[in-house]
Amino acid sequence: MTKRSIIQIDEQLCNGCGLCISPCAEGALELVDGKAKVVKEELCDGAGFCLGVCPVGALTLDIRDADPFSEQAAEPIKAQKEQHYIAQMCSFCRILEDDAYLLPIKHKGKALWACTHCLPRLIHQ
Ligand code: SF4
């Protein structure tokens, strides 16, 4: 165990939509009995890419004692997920993440992706 940043899931808020599963490249999150769960602490690197997509704010980063992240354990899962990965697209101009950098954003309770071309326009709206 080591004190580190790791995802915390509020089960009361989680509605089981599953939107957080795909952004986690390491496969740390799965739906279990209709709720998101960190299936193995060693797979969560605490990067927080899942945070922005949760429509109900059920995900936060916590600093607590947890198993250390294991790149070795995550690598085969990352390789497997990459084979079936569906590229995300900007919610505004529809450009794919293969062709632009995408950032998770939220607006009026919706989880969206914004590319770096559209983001400045949104900032100045
Ligand atoms: S995105 Fe949020 S509400 Fe949906 S499954 Fe993940 S934690 Fe639950």
Contact 113, 104 (CB under 8 A): yes
The pLDDT value given to residue 81: 85
Query: pLDDT of 64-104, one tens digit each?
Result: 999 999 999 999 999 998 888 778 899 999 999 999 999 98
105 vs 75, higher pLDDT: 75
Neighbours of 59 (CB within 10 A): 21
What's CA 92's distance to the chain center, in Å? 20
Residues 78, 47, 89, 9, CA torsion sign: positive
Whether residue 55 has pLDDT greater than 90: no
Does 24 sit in the ligand 1 pocket, CB within 6 Å?
A: no
Comparing CA positions, the residue from 31, 91, 87, 97 lying closest to residue 58 is 31
d(CA 104, CA 112): 6
User: The pTM is what?
Assistant: 0.75
Task: For residue 90, give the DSSP letter.
Answer: -
Residues in the chain: 125
Q: Report pLDDT for 51.
A: 86
Atom of ligand 1 minimally distant from the CA of 13:
3
- In this predicted structure, the answer to whether residue 5 has a pLDDT above a threshold of 80 is yes
Residue identifier of the C-alpha nearest atom 4 of ligand 1: 17
Residue 66 in tokens = 């947890």
Say whether 85 sits in a helix, a strand or coil.
coil
Looking at ligand 1, which atom is closest to the CA of residue 16? 5
